[in-house]
Structure 1
Amino acid sequence: MKKRNKCIPRHLHPDPEHWVRKGQSWKAKVAYESEDDAWEFLNQNSKLKASSWHPYLCKVCSKWHIGRLHN
């Protein structure tokens, strides 16, 4: 039986700044019109805030998303 290469080349992955993996497909992250709207959502969800999530400006759609800082 032939093994399938499950390593997808990087250029085939959407930008993770704007997209999130959902099972076998990709989904756009929730977009907020302003940084204040993103902070308002984050302040309502203390678990996310405690997990060091923060709002950031997306280069793809020029709106605000909430995510974790990856080094």
Structure 2
Amino acid sequence: MITERPEHQPPTIEILRGTATEEELAALIAVVSNAYAQEEAGAVAVERQTSAWQRTQRPLRRPLRRDIPWGRFAG
């Protein structure tokens, strides 16, 4: 079980069942570290570029409400 700690402390690993050898723990740390590094490298958030034209455009009008009667056709 890997638990997150505040930034000044590294994460910890707890063995909940059985006993792990030093080689097994080293392999676990290497695999998890490599997987984390690959995920971090691939995690890129695409920022949408908004042009000045798009920022100044008025929003589209709301759709007409067909449930509200109007004019002489209201009955």
Q: Per the shorter chain, which TM-score range?
A: under 0.3
- Under a length normalisation based on structure 1, what TM-score does the superposition of the two structures give? 0.19
- Under a length normalisation based on structure 2, what TM-score does the superposition of the two structures give? 0.18
More strand by share: 1
Comparing both chains, which one has the higher relative contact order based on Cα–Cα distances under 8 Å and sequence gaps of 6 or more? 1
